Each structure stands twice: as C-alpha cells, then as structure tokens.
Amino acid sequence: MSVDEPGVFDAVPSGWLRRYVHRYTAFTEPAGASAFRRQVPRGEVVMILSLGDDFLVRDPRAGAAVLRSFVAGLHDSYVFVASTGGSHGIQVDLTPLGARMLLGLPMREVANRTVGLEEVAGRWPGTVTGRLAEATSWAARFAILDEVLAARIRAAGPVDPRVGLAWARLSGARGKLAIASLAEEVGWSHRHLLARFKEEVGLSPKAVARILRFQR
C-alpha cells in the first residue's frame, strides 16, 4: 500500500516492544471523507502522529480543541474526533505503562484529556513526524517508530513493579477481578493501590476494570 493511497491498515511493533505498544494503525483519508467519530473508552492510551491536517476534538466535558499530533489518556467517557481536512498519519496504541515510560509523565496528567503531543512530550514528536514524512513506505515508517519508541522506553527504565503487576493482573482478567483481592496480591492497602494506580495508569482500578470489561 502506497503512503498516499487512501485506506487504513494495522501493523504490530517488533519483539519486546509489543509489551508496551499494542499496534500501529496507518491511515490516509482525502479531504471531505472524515466525519466525527465517537471514540469510546478503551484500556489503551492513544497517540496520533499526524502527517496531514489538524484534528478537531470535541469532549462533552472539556469543550473543543484543534490539535495536530496528540495523545489521549485513558478516558471514562467518550469524545468525538474529526479531521479538519485530509487526514494522514499513524495511530499508536500504547498500554498505560508504556505511555508512562514513553512520555515521561504520570498518566494522571492526561487522564480524561486529549492534549497536543508536544505540550506533554517536548520536541521529540516533531522530530519523529519529520522523519516519518520523509520515509517513502509504511514499512519504513513503522521501522522508524520501532527504533524511536524502543529507545525512549529503554531510557525511561521500568515503572513501579507492583503497579506493573496490578495492571497485568487487571488487564489479563479483562477487568473481572475484585479490587480488594488485587490490593492484597500486590501487598498494598486499598487506599495506597488507588493512589499509585491513578498516578501511573491514569484512572482508578475500579474505573479501569469497568472499561476493560466492556471493551471489545
């Protein structure tokens, strides 16, 4: 598929990176083809690297914003997204802990928010989108993402292992796990689990469990 050919298709990151980055989705839509799409809650942090026009994001709770490349933390409600013209770029679906390491900030800071990527991540997203724009195939673009994301995640180091365990257990059970049992398993009080989980993942264990149960 040519990088200029309209369409959407998925690719998976290489090797160990899949523990933190679930998929890449390449997309190209001509101007006028994009309508508002309702984005429902999901157990992933979504990063959009735009190589085309800006996006209009409408959040019933936060109002509207015009953004180019952006990141959406975990949400417990829906938002609407549409391109302001022709859309072209790559969507990166991250685990919350992968996003925590990649962006270098607590996920509570982007929970229930959709924000410009450079606002929270600094200059590197602009450098990456420049490299992506110069690449002449989607395969080359995915290889660039593998290289950059792997390097940043390695440099960040691991998150709190007990938060990692809590996330692994909750996501592995697709949310069908008692939070009291989860707290006991990781060796924390319910209150401490709540505080640490919200800091690193973005939402409370109970809210995330509800999202995971209904995610398809």
Q: List pLDDT tens digits, range 56-99.
A: 999 988 889 999 999 999 999 999 999 888 899 999 999 999 99
> Are 95 and 197 in the same domain?
no
Q: Which domain holds residue 17?
A: 7-156
Closest CA to 103 of 113, 90, 117: 117
- pLDDT tens by residue, 93-104: 999 999 999 999
> Are 61 and 121 in the same domain?
yes
**pTM of the entire structure?**
0.94
Quickly state the pLDDT bin for 158 (edges 50, 70, 90): confident
Domain membership flag for residue 144: yes
Chain centre distance of CA 181: 27
Q: What is the mean pLDDT of residues 38-59?
A: 95
Q: What pLDDT, on a 0 to 100 scale, did the predictor assign at position 30?
A: 84
Structural domains counted in the chain: 2
Q: What pLDDT, on a 0 to 100 scale, did the predictor assign at position 157?
A: 80
> Are 33 and 129 in the same domain?
yes
Domain membership flag for residue 22: yes
Closest CA to 35 of 58, 11, 3, 4: 58
Domain membership flag for residue 2: no
Domain membership flag for residue 1: no
Asked which of 156, 173, 195 is the last residue of a domain, the reply is 156
